[in-house]
Amino acid sequence: MEDKRINNFNAGPAALPLEVLTEIKDSFLNFKNSGMSVVEVSHRSKWFDNVINDAVQRTKRLLNLDARYEVLFLQGGASLQFGMIPMNFLNADNSADYVNTGTWSTKAIKEAEIQNKKITVVASSEDKNFSYIPENIQFNRDAAYVHITSNNTIKGTQWKNFPDTEGVPVIADMSSDIMSRRIDVDRFGLIYAGAQKNIGPAGVCMVIIRKDMLELVPDGLPSMLKYTTYAQKKSMYNTPPCFAIYAVSLVLKWIEETCGGLDKMEEINKEKAKLLYDYIDNSGFYKSTVMVGSRSDMNVVFRLPSEDLEVQFISDALKNGFGGLKGHRSVGGCRASIYNPTSIKAVSALVDFMKIFENKMG
pLDDT (0 to 100) of residue 3: 63
pLDDT (0 to 100) of residue 1: 47
State the Cα–Cα distance between residues 300 and 337, nearest whole angstrom. Answer: 6
pLDDT (0 to 100) of residue 4: 82
**Any idea which architecture 21-258 has in CATH?**
3-Layer(aba) Sandwich (3.40)
Of the candidates 4, 2, 20, the residue with the CA atom closest to the CA atom of residue 339: 20
> 234 Cβ partners below 8 Å, 6+ apart?
52
Q: Model pTM greater than 0.95?
A: yes
Q: Which CATH superfamily is domain 261-361 in?
A: Aspartate Aminotransferase, domain 1 (3.90.1150.10)
> 345 Cβ partners below 8 Å, 6+ apart?
none
Q: Where are the domains of the chain?
A: 21-258, 261-361
One DSSP character per residue, 50-96 reads HHHHHHHHHHHHHHT--TTEEEEEESSHHHHHHHHHHHHH--TT--E
Identical fold between 21-258 and 261-361:
no
Write out the catalytic residue numbers: 104, 173, 197
| Residue-by-residue pLDDT tens, the chain, 362 positions | 456 899 999 999 999 999 999 999 999 999 999 999 999 999 999 999 999 999 999 999 999 999 999 999 999 999 999 999 999 999 999 999 999 999 999 999 999 999 999 999 999 999 999 999 999 999 999 999 999 999 999 999 999 999 999 999 999 999 999 999 999 999 999 999 999 999 999 999 999 999 999 999 999 999 999 999 999 999 999 999 999 999 999 999 999 999 999 999 999 999 999 999 999 999 999 999 999 999 999 999 999 999 999 999 999 999 999 999 999 999 999 999 999 999 999 999 999 999 999 999 98
pLDDT (0 to 100) of residue 362: 82
pLDDT (0 to 100) of residue 319: 97
